[in-house]
């Protein structure tokens, strides 16, 4: 089961956080992506390093640009009860880099 191997220390970003903060947190925690939640804790997006790097290829406002400008808003999630193979298949089928794991209440 995925719940046996998943990371339970989740770094969650706010859509108003800067891209710089997001990238620093990912680097400090050795992760490639993070869920983005609103003030109520609802999952509203996902941001991954690949999206940030694509964004940074253009001239921009690295220090001031908010996460919400770069995050993916269509987020695919998995249940902590799913097996690793089914989640790997979802990741491949959806061509995504990271997938938040949620419980039955959609908490991550």
47-63, pLDDT tens digit by residue? 999 988 887 766 666 66
1-11, pLDDT tens digit by residue? 666 777 778 89
Instruction: Detail the DSSP E strand segments found in the chain.
Output: 33-37, 43-48, 78-79, 101-102
Instruction: Count CB atoms within 10 A of the CB of residue 39.
Output: 8
Q: How are beta strands 78-79 and 101-102 bridged, if at all?
A: parallel
Q: What is the mean pLDDT of residues 13-22?
A: 94
Model confidence, pTM: 0.77
Q: What is the mean pLDDT of residues 15-19?
A: 94
CATH 3.10.580.10 fits 2-102, yes or no: yes
Domain ranges in the chain are 2-102
């Amino acid at each position: 089961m995925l719940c046996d191997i998943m990371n339970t220390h989740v770094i969650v970003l706010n859509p108003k956080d800067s891209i710089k903060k997001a990238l620093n947190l990912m680097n400090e925690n050795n992760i490639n992506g993070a869920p983005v939640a609103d003030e109520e804790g609802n999952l509203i997006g996902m941001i991954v390093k690949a999206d940030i790097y694509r964004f940074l290829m253009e001239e921009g406002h690295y220090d001031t640009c908010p996460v919400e400008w770069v995050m993916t808003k269509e987020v695919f999630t998995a249940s902590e009860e799913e097996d690793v193979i089914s989640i790997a298949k979802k990741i491949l089928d959806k061509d995504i880099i990271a997938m938040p794991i949620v419980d039955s209440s959609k908490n991550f």
